[in-house]
Amino acid sequence: MRNILFFLLMVAATGSQAQTLFTYGTNKVDKKEFWRAFSKNNNGATDEKSIREYLDLFVRFKLKVQAAKDAKLDTLPNIQNDIAAFRAQIIEQYMRNQGSNKELVNEAIDRSASELEVAHVFVGYDNDSAKAKVVIDKAYAQLQTGSDFSTTSKTFSTNEYVKSTGGYIGYLSAFSLPYDLETAVYNTAVGGYSKPVAGKSGYHIFKVMNKRATLGKMKAAQILIALPANASQEEIAAARTKAEMVYGLATKGDAFDKLAQTYSDDKLTFQNGGELPEFGFTKYDAAFSKAAFGLQKNGDISSPVQTASGFHIIKRLELKPAVTDKNDPAIVQEFNEKVNTDARINVAIAKQKEQILKSSNYKALPYNEKELWIITDTVLKAKNYAAIYKANQQKPLFQLGTKITSAADWLKHVKSLQTANYSPKQTDYKELMKQFVYTTAEQYYKDRLETTNEEVGFQIKEFREGSMLFEIMERKIWSVAPADSAGLVAYYNRNKQKYTWQPSVNAIVFNCADTAVANRALAMMKKEPLKWKEHMDALGGTALADSSRFELNQLPVAEGTKFTAGQFTPIVTNPNDGSSSFCYILKVYDSKDQRSYDEAKGLVINDYQLDMEEKWINQLKKKYPVKVNEGVVKSMVK
């Protein structure tokens, strides 16, 4: 029984280890590395033929990379610099996208799917936050007795506008409020109210009155008849009259963009016809948004709507439905940018610091803080501080894994902060020490990511091997073959039968920016076909022409086109980019003529490179014999 158990444990252990797919010389490649590359570059097929075709490519790739290692190309400064830059880029991306940042993005997407109708009690600090706390707590206590929220807001709020509205705010969504206040709102059930929460200028109690699905994004234009601050009744009446006059012109058919250019006081939009950036319901004043989103169809125009800014006449241009799909890369990118520019990113940064310290096995070690601050003062004042560094190399401050950071490291860091205009003071040291601990831990964490994080390690390895492959191919094949004139001619002479013309034409091929340019070029050519170069100059870079001998399958023409000398082929337009092309046929060749060396040179260089590469691969296979584990290959077939 004991022997059977031992055998089963050994089988389990062996099965959990990496399976070697193939070896080349003494080097091993496991199934996991191959499958990752195959899955990334394959079109989804997992049949045996597809796997074996890619396996052949992968073996050749590994042999070339090994040749690059043998040539020590990985020690070249340009390759090392490229790898270092890529490593830094990948690690920074990982740091931005990991854990807490991703959680904030997902949270923001989830919150943006709904809009909450909110009211609040607001008690300003007014230079006495303790007093404000007493007042907000009284308001909260009164609400707990069942008091009406609007009445409570009018009684306790210290802002006159909040009092006048009974605390009503309107609909809010993600990014409408500072993050801590937003979180208080979204953590409150419909019909309920939050506990007092501290904001930048005072305390709030939020009530969530209603919840609805986000209405989407509006594209609209506006004409603003502005009101001055503290406008009098006469000024308000005059602005209303003017707004109603402009509204009348708009509803009678006058062009809205022209009216905006003439009458709108919105300095940011009047020149482009009043068109506003795309916005959601919670972006602007509630009255404005209610009017805009109340328009039923594109082209509808609202009657004048009054806000604190003045009277708005709004034209609906387009309403886009809300998109909150967390699997849509564009949506994730949009919200990632919002999170990164919002104060909530500080939450992610704080969490990340905690995670980095934990994963780096940070451990504070005992040291005499008062003594260290005195030594720090001395270093900042000293001109010769090398001896001080040396004397403090063995004084530990903290530990990251097995790495000890010493007092000398701290002293060097503080000294590096000193400039002609700034020198740290003792009152700064505690905060600077916190920053030093984190930045040291962060660098320690980053330095180890390539080995501790499989995905990061794979990406850096791919880039390193790709860089080496490019360099070895350039040195062995790509730059060598075109320069070997004698070899190219010899290869051409040995393989002349490969280089014949298929049915072809002498032609001038015109590629134009769009159909309108193509029509102009065609009209010019029909009038004076011999002046095609002058015509191209006249079209100022919107059309290009190439005169040469072309095989028929190289021409931009409709399938089945028949060719005759002197013919202009019909214009064809590329549906992807709108560019248009046509040809002027000078001569038609029906027979398969032999290509001269000059005519075939591009093809010869390509084939000669492939021939050189094949011979090189055969040499590498002799140097590094390849052995494939057939059992592992078959295990991948699905």
Q: Identify any residues that bridge with 245 across adjacent strands, giving them in sequence order.
A: none
Strands in 227-321 per DSSP E: 305-307, 310-320
Instruction: Report pLDDT for 100.
Output: 61
**165 class by beta-carbon count within 10 Å (0-12 exposed, 13-18 middle, 19+ buried):** middle
Three-state secondary-structure class, residue 591: coil
pLDDT at 7: 35
CA 14 to chain centre: 41
Threshold 0.75, pTM exceeds = no
φ and ψ at 405, to 5 degrees?
-100, 130
pLDDT (tens digit, 9 = 90+) per residue, 108-124? Answer: 999 999 999 999 999 99
Residue type (1 letter), 135: V
Hey, is 539 helix, strand or coil? coil
Q: Classify 114-213 by CATH class.
A: alpha beta
Taking the C-alpha atoms of residue 607 and residue 595, their distance in angstroms, rounded to an integer, is 15
Residues 6+ apart with CB under 8 A from 381: none
Asked if 608 contacts 488 with a C-beta cutoff of 8 angstroms, the reply is yes
CATH of span 217-320:
3.10.50.40
Q: Alpha-carbon distance 117 to 186, whole Å?
A: 11
Computed on alpha carbons and rounded to an integer, the radius of gyration of the chain in Å comes to 37
Q: What are phi and psi of 592, to 5 degrees?
A: -90, 85
What is the spatial distance between Cα 440 and Cα 133, in angstroms, rounded to a whole number?
40
Instruction: Tell me the C-alpha distance between 138 and 158, whole Å.
Output: 13
- On whether the CB atoms of residues 244 and 305 are closer than 8 A, the answer is no
**Where exactly does CATH 3.10.50.40 map onto the chain?**
114-213, 217-320
2 CB contacts (<8 Å, ≥6 apart)?
A: none
Which residues in the chain show pLDDT less than 70? 1-17, 97-100
- pLDDT tens-place string over residues 385-438: 899 999 999 999 999 999 999 999 999 999 999 998 999 999 999 999 999 999
Which residue type sits at 66? Q
| Interatomic CA distance for residues 397 and 403, integer angstroms | 11
Enumerate residues 6+ apart whose C-beta is below 8 A from 600: 492, 499
pLDDT of residue 98: 67
Q: Which two tokens stand for residue 630?
A: 């057939």
- Amino acid letter, 161: Y
Interhelix angle 31-41/454-473, rounded to 10 degrees, is 70
Q: What is the per-residue DSSP string for 481-509?
A: HHH-HHHHHHHHHHTGGG-B--SEEEEEE
* 147 sits in which H/E element: none
d(CA 141, CA 399): 49
Residue 2's pLDDT is: 39
For position 5, what pLDDT does the model report? Answer: 36
Query: In which residue are the tokens 């399976």 written?
Result: 19
Please state, in angstroms and rounded to a whole number, the distance separating the CA atoms of residues 119 and 85. 51
CATH number of 501-593: 3.10.50
Record the tokens describing residue 317, joined without a space. 């241009």
Q: Is 347 left (phi over 0), alpha (psi -120 to 50) or beta?
A: alpha
- What pLDDT, on the 0 to 100 scale, is given for residue 102? 83
How many residues appear in the chain? 638
Tokens linked to 339: 């999170």
Pair 624, 27: CB distance under 8 Å: yes
Strand order in the sheet with 310-320: 217-226, 310-320, 305-307
Count Cα neighbours of 19 within 13 Å in the Cβ-side half-sphere: 17
**The pair of three-digit structure tokens given for residue 383, joined into one six-digit string:** 């001109």
281, 215 in Cβ contact below 8 A?
yes
| Beta partners for residue 500, in sequence order | 594
